[in-house]
Amino acid sequence: MKIAVFGASGPTGKLVVQQALEKGYKVTAFVRNPENFTQSHSDLTVIKADALVPSTFENNLKGHDVVLSALGIGQSFKDTSLYSESGKYIIEAMRKGGVKKFICLTSGGVEDDDPSFEFIYKLIFKRLLRKPYNDMKKLESYLQSVSEIDWIIVRPSQLIDKPLTGIYRVSARYAPKGGSKISRADLAHFMLKQLNSNEWLRKTPTLTY
C-alpha cells in the first residue's frame, strides 16, 4: 500500500511516517522544508510542498491508495484557515489523482456540547480556542458534503508525548467519558489502523485513554 502524508514534519506526522514505514507501507511525505526533515528510508519519498498551495502537490497524489493529513496548529489561539483550506485543496487533488480515501485530524473539543469536557475547559480553554475550532468545523462540514471519497475525521483529545501503547478508547462523536488525553504515538497508531478498515468511514472517531 502506498500512502501520502501531509504534515509529515509535525510531531504527529513524524510518528505516522515512522510507524507506517515500520509496517511496510510505501510513504510519500509532503513537507514545506525537506532540508529539515531527517527521516530516511528506502520506502520513503519526500516532496517539498505546501498544503495551502495546490500547485506544489496536486500532480503527486496519483498512484497513492490513501491520503493522511496530520496538519494542525497545535495549541495556538490564533485565527486560521489551515484545516478547511488544506482539506479542500487536498480533496480536489485526490479527485484529480483518483485517490479514494482520506484520513485527517480535527479535535475532540470541536463539539460544542460534548459532556465529557470539564466545566473549566469549556469556560476558559474552549473560548480561547474558538477560532481554530471554527475552522475545524468548516473542514468537517465540507467533508460531510463530499460523496465520492471515503473520509475519516479523527478527533484526538489533549495530545501528549508518551510512548505507544495501542490501548485507548474510541467513541463515535463525544470523547469517551472520563478521558482527557491521548499520546501522539497512539493517535498515529489509530490513524494507520484505518488504512485497512471501514469501521469509521464517514464518521468522527474521538480518542482518549
**Strands 181-183, 169-171: pairing kind:** unpaired
* pLDDT at residue 134, as a whole number: 93
Q: Looking at residues 133-147, what average pLDDT do you find? A: 96
pLDDT digits (tens, 9 = 90+) for 92-101: 999 999 999 9
Domain 2-208 sits in CATH at 3.40.50.720
Which residues are bridge partners to 28 per DSSP?
4, 45
Instruction: Give the H or E element holding residue 126.
Output: helix 126-128
Among residues 28, 65, 23, 22, which one has the least CA distance to residue 44?
28
Strands (DSSP E) along the chain, which ranges?
A: 2-6, 26-31, 44-48, 66-69, 101-105, 150-156, 158-160, 169-171, 181-183, 206-208
* pLDDT at residue 205, as a whole number: 97
- pLDDT tops 60 at residue 149: yes
Greater confidence, 135 or 74? 135
What value, to the nearest 5°, has the Cα angle with vertex 112 and ends 109 and 114? 70
Return the domain boundaries, the chain: 2-208
Least confident of 26-30, 154-158, 186-190: 154-158
Q: pTM of the full predicted structure?
A: 0.93
Taking the C-alpha atoms of residue 58 and residue 160, their distance in angstroms, rounded to an integer, is 32
